[in-house]
Amino acid sequence: MVIEPDSPEANSAGTDLYEGFDPKTRAALDLTADALVQPPTKRGGPIVRIQNLHKSFGRERVLDGIDLEIERGKTTVVLGPSGTGKSVLLKHVVGLIKPDNGEVYFEDQRVDTLSEPALVPIRKRIGYMFQLGALFDSMSIGENIAFPLVEHTQMDASHRAACVQRVLSLVGLDGYQDKMPAELSGGQQRRVALARAVVLQPCLVLYDEPTTGLDPVRADVINELILALTRQMGITSIVVTHDIASANKVADRMILLHQGAVICDGRPDQVRASDNAVVQRFIQGEADASDLEKIRRAFAGESDTPTLFQEARPDP
Ligand SMILES: Nc1ncnc2c1ncn2[C@@H]1O[C@H](COP(=O)(O)OP(=O)(O)O)[C@@H](O)[C@H]1O
Ligand SMILES: [Mg+2]
């Protein structure tokens, strides 16, 4: 089930997610804003196609034959524990990492064989919210958001300023142009990163761990914004996360990565109903039983191998 942003479930804690947002921002989030709305793309078929993708770093095999099609206009969430290759997978979509084997297509154009200059027009159409937001510390909020416009458009300064103002308003940060990233809270910084990811009106946005490290209320603001921007701008979204609550909120479809492969792919209700033990463990947020046993034994001093836990214990 995908929870509608304005349903009671979406706001079960009774918190006003847009508390402090001015009326204009609230209105903009009500899917009525016009200036940024693009007609939904008319083309059919998947927007991204990944075939038999393999990627290793040294002897570590990270992606081991991924096949994936990303449906247009939907939010696909890629789940998996830390270190399973979720970020590596996203980077392949924009050609930041080249595969050892396999093929990556965006809008039927093969991406993985393109040169850096040939990738520029593709990157213009794909917004990327990097892990932890990755704002430029020495640039103001306005300069951070304008950065893709400076890089990729001929816009004059006043037009850029209007675009910056527009997306800042969309994420509830009207008037923050001249502040520096360090002056903002973690949640506000993520909202700026989100604004920067959509300022070029991309048709696809890649979100890398958009809610990681945020408290549940602030995480939910980001979830709501992802939903609102996806719908308002007709965007296709790929959200990479290990936050199952966030995934439940935004996903039309969930994909679970495990040991370099897709082990589950379907609607959220289908994934939740999976009888695969690894899938269940992940969505219930449980550690592997054998890992728990290792930790218990280590603390009890029964482990044969020296562990971090033993080293951390004071000398008797
Ligand atoms: N550029 C790189 N060079 C070497 N190893 C990398 C590189 N990028 C990622 N890795 C390794 O690939 C594995 C998967 O990383 P990543 O995709 O960041 O995981 P996550 O699922 O947490 O996003 C990790 O073991 C990581 O250390
Ligand atoms: Mg990652």
Whether pLDDT at 40 is above 50? no
- Rounded to the nearest whole angstrom, what is the distance from the C-alpha of residue 209 to the centroid of ligand 2? 7
Q: What is the mean pLDDT of the chain?
A: 80
Q: Reading across the β-sheet that carries 236-241, which strands appear in turn?
A: 126-129, 204-208, 236-241, 75-79, 253-258, 261-266
Whether pLDDT at 150 is above 60? yes
Whether pLDDT at 98 is above 50? yes
Question: Which domains does the chain show, CATH number per domain?
Answer: 8-285 (3.40.50.300), 289-316 (no CATH)
pLDDT of residue 302: 59
pLDDT of residue 10: 38
Nearest CA to ligand 1 atom 27: 83
- Alpha-carbon torsion (74, 8, 32, 239), positive or negative: negative
Residue count of the chain: 316
Q: Which two tokens stand for residue 181?
A: 């990233």
Q: Which atom of ligand 1 is nearest to the CA of 82?
A: 22
Q: Which atom of ligand 1 is nearest to the CA of 85?
A: 17
pLDDT of residue 56: 96
> Whose structure tokens read 């379907």?
266
Work out the burial of residue 151: count CB atoms within 10 Å of its CB; fewer than 13 is exposed, 13-18 middle, 19 or more buried: exposed
Which of 30-34, 56-60, 205-209 is the least confident region? 30-34
Q: What is the pLDDT of residues 66-96, one digit of tens each?
A: 999 999 989 999 998 888 999 999 999 999 9
DSSP collapsed to 3 states, the chain: CCCCCCCHHHHCCCCCCCCCCCHHHHHHHHHHCCCCCCCCCCCCCCCEEEEEEEEEECCEEEEEEEEEEECCCCEEEEECCCCCCHHHHHHHHCCCCCCCEEEEEECCEECCCCCHHHHHHHHHCEEEECCCCCCCCCCCHHHHHHHHHHHHCCCCHHHHHHHHHHHHHHCCCCCCCCCCHHHCCHHHHHHHHHHHHHCCCCCEEEEECCCCCCCHHHHHHHHHHHHHHHHHHCCEEEEEECCHHHHHHHCCEEEEEECCEEEEEECHHHHHCCCCHHHHHHHCCCCCHHHHHHHHHHHCCCCCCCCHHHHHCCCC
Q: Which residues line ligand 1 (CB under 6 A)?
A: 57, 60, 62, 80, 82-88
Torsion angles phi and psi, residue 107, rounded to 5: 50, 45
Q: What is the mean pLDDT of residues 288-307?
A: 60
> Whose structure tokens read 């520029």?
120
- Rounded to the nearest whole angstrom, what is the distance from the C-alpha of residue 83 to the centroid of ligand 1? 6
Choose which residue among 55, 78, 88 to substitute to test ligand 1 binding: the one with the highest number of ligand atoms within 8 A of its C-beta. Answer: 88
- Rounded to the nearest whole angstrom, what is the distance from the C-alpha of residue 134 to the centroid of ligand 2? 13
Q: Which two tokens stand for residue 212?
A: 């990681």
- Rounded to the nearest whole angstrom, what is the distance from the C-alpha of residue 100 to the centroid of ligand 2? 19
Q: How confident is the model at residue 290 (pLDDT cuts 50, 70, 90)?
A: low
pLDDT cut 70: percent of the chain above it:
77
pLDDT cut 90: percent of the chain above it:
44
Whether the Cβ atoms of residue 166 and residue 24 lie closer than 8 Å to each other: no
Whether pLDDT at 301 is above 70? no
pLDDT of residue 112: 96
Provide the whole-model pTM: 0.79
pLDDT of residue 266: 93
The bridge status of strand 48-57 relative to strand 204-208 is: unpaired
Q: What is the pLDDT of residues 190-248, one digit of tens each?
A: 899 999 998 888 999 999 999 988 888 888 888 988 988 888 778 899 999 988 889 99
Choose which residue among 53, 55, 62, 243 to substitute to test ligand 1 binding: the one with the highest number of ligand atoms within 8 A of its C-beta. Answer: 62
